[in-house]
């Protein structure tokens, strides 16, 4: 059985005092000598508990507006001394340095100050120096010292003191040390990213402390964990926990719906839209989106950018789906939608997401800016003799938004702001187009007068030829092929309109 080490002395200096009183009272009841500073010292004194000011130990006051309080050998010596080394013990005696067995210290709220839009000076002053040094020192010397580095640990620490009668085991102290280094490394990463906001230093430092262990990963034999704070983005009103695959689809859905300002409903499966429509009212948008591919919609992820009403909810309720996301719901709509216990219903909050994306690759990580460029009609350059009509321009803009969020190689066919079909993830653009045409035919869509969007340029004229034979009348693509003229010439000979955007939208 692992023996416990009694806590005889403690240094307490924290920014957040929430629930600290219970810890201090317990330590006092155990006969622990307490050292403290500034506001924490005053807090303890108001509890009527004896506390020794750090200034009495160091013979130095807090200076430089509180920037220097605990940075002193009499503090760090007491924390870092190795109790099993006679030389350390002798030096403590020589310099009258007391051993410190417990350090309770948290860090200044740097991230919170940045998030709240603090001035540069306010943010700089929230870079903790003494606190992070104390935490690191105590964690380094975990064989002899217990470190409590967050108010989130107070409850469990109280239970530990109760269970171990005022002591801790080395395994417990080592775990607390690991948690402390998790906190300090996260803190330093946040500071670095603040100073490197212009990306002048090419270094990958990202830290997320909130985690959610998933049922499994992409497949049942794979472990999965989500690192992040879903509650900042969604309020869950119903259903089971989101799975790994749910999260991938939800991410794709949130990115897609952000492209649209008018009433839009989208249905996604395996990160691609299998149905999407923009219409004057929600019920019409839902019905049109579902008609795109009712087969794939089964078990899909649904998202809209407007409040869901009871009439639309009644129709949605007829379909089996995994997740529904909307900015709000009528009460009557929720009554209908909550009839299925496992159905996940989310309210999307207005949160600004990061403009960066990361992916593990080989023995490292690749990072890039997210594809946030969205072309409008103003960005379209007509390159054919025939110009798109006003309706076609609207559909081209709609289709181009969608092609940007579909796996490459991809072709999107649309009409009247409704997805008719798409070819997704194909190894050739011709195959993507043929897949889209076949799918549209399967679900009874007439492609006459529809538009075609491509995520990249056409290296040959074959795609516009196939599109023309299918009834498509307008095309949007980036352009940039050395054989652009072949496609343009074909369109001119057959009265098709085609516009270039100058921007490729690969998605892998």
Residues forming the active site: 140, 270
Crossing angle of helices 154-163 and 20-29, in 10° steps, is: 20
The pairing of beta strand 344-348 with beta strand 234-238: antiparallel
- Using the structure block, give the residue that is written with the tokens 């498509």: 472
Angstrom distance (rounded) from CA 158 to CA 325: 41
Burial (0-12, 13-18, 19+ Cβ within 10 Å), 388: buried
Angstrom distance (rounded) from CA 71 to CA 58: 9
The pairing of beta strand 411-415 with beta strand 264-269: unpaired
φ, ψ for residue 267, nearest 5 deg: -125, 125
Contacts of residue 215, defined as CB under 8 A and 6 or more positions apart, other chains included, come to 224, 241, 243, 244
Cβ atoms of residues 130 and 69 within 8 Å: yes
Question: DSSP strand E in 270-316: where?
Answer: 272-278, 300-304
Angstrom distance (rounded) from CA 402 to CA 15: 48
Angstrom distance (rounded) from CA 79 to CA 89: 12
- 356, containing H or E segment: strand 356-361
């Amino acid at each position: 059985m692992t023996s416990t080490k009694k806590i005889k002395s403690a240094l307490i200096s924290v920014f957040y005092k929430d629930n600290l009183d219970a810890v201090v009272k317990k330590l006092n009841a155990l006969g622990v000598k307490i050292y403290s500073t500034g506001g924490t010292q005053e807090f303890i004194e108001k509890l009527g508990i004896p506390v020794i000011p750090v200034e009495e130990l160091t013979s130095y006051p807090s200076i430089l507006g509180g920037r220097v309080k605990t940075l002193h050998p009499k503090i760090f010596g007491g924390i870092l001394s190795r109790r099993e080394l006679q030389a350390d013990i002798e030096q403590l005696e020589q310099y009258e340095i007391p051993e410190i067995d417990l350090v309770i210290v948290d860090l200044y709220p740097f991230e919170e100050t940045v998030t709240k839009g603090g001035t540069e000076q306010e943010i700089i002053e929230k870079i903790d120096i003494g606190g992070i040094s104390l935490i690191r020192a105590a964690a380094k010397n975990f064989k002899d010292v217990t470190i409590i580095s967050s108010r989130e640990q107070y409850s469990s620490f109280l239970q530990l003191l109760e269970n171990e009668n005022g002591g801790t085991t080395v395994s417990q102290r080592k775990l607390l040390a690991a948690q402390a280094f998790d906190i300090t490394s996260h803190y330093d990463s946040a500071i670095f990213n603040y100073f490197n906001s212009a990306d002048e230093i090419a270094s990958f430092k990202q830290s997320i402390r909130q985690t959610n262990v998933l049922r499994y990963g992409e497949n049942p034999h794979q472990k999965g964990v989500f690192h992040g704070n879903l509650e900042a983005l969604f309020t869950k009103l119903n259903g089971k926990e989101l799975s790994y695959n749910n999260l991938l689809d939800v991410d794709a859905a949130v990115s897609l719906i952000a492209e649209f300002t008018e009433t839009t409903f989208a249905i996604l499966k395996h990160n691609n839209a299998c149905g999407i429509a923009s219409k004057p009212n929600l019920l019409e948008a839902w019905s049109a989106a579902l008609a795109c591919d009712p087969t794939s919609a089964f078990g899909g992820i649904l998202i809209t950018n407007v409040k869901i009403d009871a009439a639309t909810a009644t129709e949605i309720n007829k379909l089996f789906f995994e997740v529904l996301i909307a900015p709000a719901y009528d009460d009557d709509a929720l009554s209908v939608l909550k009839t299925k216990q496992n159905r996940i219903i989310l309210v999307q909050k207005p949160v600004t997401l990061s403009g960066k994306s990361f992916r593990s690759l080989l023995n490292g990580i690749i990072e890039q800016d997210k594809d946030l460029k969205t072309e409008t009609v103003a960005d379209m350059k007509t390159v054919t003799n025939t110009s798109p009509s006003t309706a076609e321009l609207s559909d081209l803009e709609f289709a181009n938004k969608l092609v940007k969020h579909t796996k490459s190689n991809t072709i999107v066919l649309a009409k009247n702001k409704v997805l008719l079909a798409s070819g997704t993830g194909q190894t050739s653009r011709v195959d993507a187009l043929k897949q889209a045409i076949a799918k549209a035919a399967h679900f009874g869509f007439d492609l006459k007068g529809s538009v075609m969007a491509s995520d990249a340029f056409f290296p040959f004229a074959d795609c516009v030829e196939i599109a023309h034979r299918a009834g498509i009348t307008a095309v949007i693509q980036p352009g940039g092929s050395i054989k652009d003229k072949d496609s343009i010439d074909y369109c001119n000979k057959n009265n098709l309109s085609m516009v270039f955007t100058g921007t490729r939208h690969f998605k892998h």
